[in-house]
Structure formats: structure tokens, C-alpha cells
Amino acid sequence: MSLLERNGLPVRPSRELGESLPGYLYRLYNANGHPVPTEIHASLSLLYSNAALDQREAAAAQLSAVAGELSDADWPRWRTWHGWLKQSYAWLRFCPLCLRENQLHQSIWELPLVTACPIHQTQLVEECECGRKLGWRWSSADWNCRCGKAFCEIDAPDAAQGTVVLARLISACSSVERGGRWPYAWRLPKEFHDLSLEALYAEIEFLHQLECKLHRHLGGIGVTKFPSASVGMLLARWPRNLDAYLQGWLERYFAKDHGSGIVRLGRNMPLIKLQTSFSSPLSAKAEPNISRQYLARFVDRIRLPVHGPGVYLIDSALLKQLDAAWLHEFYALTERSSHLHSPQAGKPSGADSRQATVMRQVIARFVAYAVTKQSFNTGLRRTARIWPALPEHSGTSLLEWLAHLIGPLHEASHTHLCYLREMLDSVQH
């Protein structure tokens, strides 16, 4: 009887739900008192390799002659997209606590980015305490290292929270594919409940790319080459963590703008560029892409963290029209006011202080204008920094903006308007 056929093995334990293919074969041969034959190791290596499809199919056929029918989940699909998205047969990793409970090697541990146990929240073990990296070929048949240490006795440190989130999501989405469910206690975001594993990996890749690109705009280094715990944290408490991350990024990005108070929300702004230009084949493949949709909504309702007087400018063509219209209104107003108003001397102090507030707002707008025209006068910029922020305004039509910017001028005194005009002329010429 051949050891490479199911009939050749008198003891045939059935394969458990979620058990990995190598894990099952290992257990099967162990139950029959044999080490895993070299041919089986070779076929497993081939199945998990980059070999041509027909070779991998031949390997799968040989393995199913021993293990019984293989499922889709046994087929390592994650090869072609990205460096991190791959499975390998060479090394094995496991949760010692899970192994202690049922002696089964879980297929979830083989999936890319699963480095924590979703149940015990500990790191998966890849190395024995004797320092050996654990490979399938060199582990003895009853889950022992060559040094004699039992796998289930190896100490597993606590996992980073982000890696637990990733492991739980991946576990959940792979169980969706197998018609399974996951513990309610995991509290996974409901948006992700019905995602296929493939779509989940696409989300992870999208968020990883987002992190890398946004980080680069801050001139930072330190984003990992492959998705890591930080992506898990972005997915946690969905979408609050992602929202906080994007807000934090905006704060840091515009903090570089040294109080000029002017922020241009043009097409060149990295976040907007990213939102429109993301076109990874992965993201295109997976519909709907939850993270991309969230990013689009975030960009739509963006509120810029400007500390100091400022205008929120949406687009540079609009900005030009706005400049011209503002100037026109302003000069018209200074000419009208010369015979409509007289300086408001002798008013009660309450009105004076109101006037002073309005004046500050007007000058803040003036400063904003001057800076927009890129007349970067140091004095003006310093002044801009100490004045309070303009009231927030979210209108986007030209008329709305103009009313917003010109309104306070109507309340300014003739003297103030003349002063403004002088300042304006000095900046213009």
C-alpha cells in the first residue's frame, strides 16, 4: 500500500473545520505512525509556490489523493498582487494556547498578515525558545521542536492591538467565505461583515497606500513597507480611528503653513489628489471599496484646522474671481463712504469695542487678501498670526464668498476704510 494514497493509511481522522491542509496531513501521518513523506512535503511546497498553474494543479491532485477533496480555501490564492500578500509553506506559525486546546493547526494562521491569535490576542509563534525558526519539515510529528520543546509550551507574548484587529477581520472574512460566523464579542465594524477575503485585503492595501502617501507629504519616514499594526488601528472603531487619523494629518500638514492663515483647497492638495487618483488594480477589483468611499466623504466635508485669520479657498479659478470682486467692492465702498459717513467720535465705549472687533475682522480679511496675492510682507504675516480666526464659512458659490468677505466692511468707519485702502495700496504697489 502506498503512503501517498488515502487507502494506504488505515487510521483516517476526519479533517476539522478550519484546519490547515499541512496541519491535517501532518496529523494524518502521525496517527498512522509515519513521518510526512518527502513527496508530500514537495507537493505542499509546489502548491504554495510561484510554479506554473499546471504544476500546482498536479501537486493539488496528489495531495487530495491523501487528504480527500481540497476546498477553495486550501488553494493559496495570494501570490500575484503585492509582496506582502503571499502564503508560504516553508515556515509555520501557530498559537500555543489554541494548540494546547485542540492540537489542530488552523488555516487562518497561514493567511497573509495574520500574526496574532484572534482568540487569545497573543502573537503567533514562529520560533522556538531554543532560537530555531520553525519549519514544517523539521518539526517532529507531535508538535515538538527538534530541541524537544512542545509547541504548546512555548511562551506567546501579548500581540499589538492593531494586529489583533487585522487577525479578527481576516478570520471573520475568511469564515464568511466558508459560511461560518465569528464571535459577537469581536465587535467588528458592520461595514465589513459581508466582505470576501479578497475584498478585505484590497481595503487593507488601500489604507496602507494611504498611510504611506500621506506620511510622505509630511516628509516623514517610518511607514512600514508592508501593512502592519497601524493599518489594523485604522480599521478599529471604524470609521472613528480613520477619521481621527485624517484630521490629525491635516493638523500636521497645515501646521507647516506658519500662520499665513491662507489655505488653498486646490486640486493639488495631497488628500484631494489621493482621493481622485487612487487606482490600484486591487482597489478597482474589489467593489465596493469601503475605505475609498469614506475618504471621499471626508474630503467633501473637510474643515481646515487654520489657527488665525484665514479664508478657506476651494479652487484657484474661484479665488481669482473673488480677488477681483473683492477689490471692486472695496474701492466702491471707500469712495461712497467718503461722503456717506463721518468718523464716529464720541460714541459710547461699548460701540467702540464693537467697532474695534469689526475692524479686526476687516483687517484680518485684508491680510488674508494680501497674503493670497502672495505679497508676503513679514509685518502682515506676523499680524495675521495674532488675530483671531475668521468665522467659519462653508459656502462655495462666488456670491456667498463675496458676501462673507465684504460684509464687515459695510460696518467699518470711513477712517478705518481709508486706513485699509492705504495699506492695500502699499501692498499692491
User: How far from 83 is each of 87, 112, 142, 232, 411, CA to CA, in Å?
Assistant: 10, 10, 33, 18, 63
- Identify which of residues 92 and 117 has a Cβ nearer to Zn ion in the complex: 117
Name the residue among 41, 34, 131 with its Cα closest to residue 89: 41
- Identify which of residues 170 and 269 has a Cβ nearer to Zn ion in the complex: 170
The strand ranges marked E within 287-349 are 311-313
- Identify which of residues 101 and 392 has a Cβ nearer to Zn ion in the complex: 101
In whole angstroms, how close is the CB of 117 to Zn ion at the nearest point? 3
Looking up cell 488552523 gives: 106
Name the residue among 327, 325, 414, 321 with its Cα closest to residue 366: 327
In whole angstroms, how close is the CB of 158 to Zn ion at the nearest point? 12
In whole angstroms, how close is the CB of 94 to Zn ion at the nearest point? 8
Q: In whole angstroms, give the CA distance from residue 214 to residue 212.
A: 6
- Identify which of residues 10 and 148 has a Cβ nearer to Zn ion in the complex: 148
- Identify which of residues 95 and 306 has a Cβ nearer to Zn ion in the complex: 95
- Identify which of residues 86 and 120 has a Cβ nearer to Zn ion in the complex: 120
- Identify which of residues 129 and 400 has a Cβ nearer to Zn ion in the complex: 129
Element containing residue 267 per DSSP (H, E): none
CB under 8 Å to 262, separation ≥6 — which residues? 310, 311, 313, 368, 371, 372
Bin 113: left if φ > 0, else alpha if -120 < ψ < 50, else beta. Answer: left
Name the residue among 67, 74, 89 with its Cα closest to residue 137: 89
C-alpha dihedral sign at 112, 117, 121, 125: negative
Residues interacting with Zn ion, by CB under 5 A?
95, 97-98, 117, 119-120, 128, 130, 132, 145, 147, 149
Grid coordinates representing 393 are: 464659512
Residue 104 Cα to chain centre, angstroms: 34
Based on DSSP, count helices (H) and strands (E) in the chain, helices before strands. 16, 2
C-alpha dihedral sign at 119, 120, 124, 125: negative
In whole angstroms, how close is the CB of 119 to Zn ion at the nearest point? 5
- Identify which of residues 147 and 284 has a Cβ nearer to Zn ion in the complex: 147
Name the residue among 173, 92, 182 with its Cα closest to residue 139: 92
